[in-house]
Amino acid sequence: MKEILNKLFFGKPEYNTKLRYTAYQTNLIYLKRIWNNAKHHDVGFEKILRLFLVLIQFVFPGLHIRNYFGKMGAMKRNASTEFYVFFKTFLPLFFLLSGLYQHKIVVFVSAYFMTETIFYVTSVIFVSDMFVKPRSYRRNILMLFLNYIEICLNFAVIYAGLHLLGDKPETAVDYIYFSIVTATTIGYGDLHPISHLGKMIVCVQALLVLAFIVLFLNFFGSKVETLHREDE
């Protein structure tokens, strides 16, 4: 069974190459390169944004997980990242189905993990010149889809935990339904926010998802198309 799992998640042993730098060292290298305009001549707000996107990763668990498992090799680091993404995707679903969303600390936790996802995916685009070529752009699109689901579920936790839709929703499914309908910009209108805070959060979700689809999916989609042409 152990051999089967190793083959499934890590492939051939030679794929698990030793990394030259830890995740901490790599991020510090990125900061230095951006500051010195080593690969891209950016100034002003663009440079501030790129520095911020790299620096903010130290605040979230993802970087620390990559740093720890990166000591075991490239494939184990990648596998740990995938498990972390799956964990973050299903955590808000657990909060909703278990009723834990009623606690304000759970709303904070959901917002915290969602913020990490938004900043990380944004850095993949705006700091892409610093990143090495990924093992598979198709894998990145799969992770991106999970990030999309995670964001929808985390917004559902926020709507439920802050009671932003009034008394009309009867179950956690109603909050998930409202969040996905908002994310897809369908907006049936059967559920709606009852406060100014709720309306503002709906606007934030709509704008985030629009940027997510237009910028992020288009970015990775073009990479996969280029890779397909190279294969041909």
The Cα–Cα gap between 137 and 172 comes to 34
How do residues 142-182 score in pLDDT, each as one tens digit?
A: 888 899 899 999 999 999 999 999 888 889 999 999 999 99
Indicate whether 217 pLDDT > 90. Answer: no
Rounded distance, CA 178 to CA 190, Å?
A: 9
Other beta carbons within 10 Å of 230:
7
Cα 140 off chain centre by: 11
- Tell me the C-alpha distance between 98 and 104, whole Å: 14
Predicted TM-score of the model (pTM) = 0.87
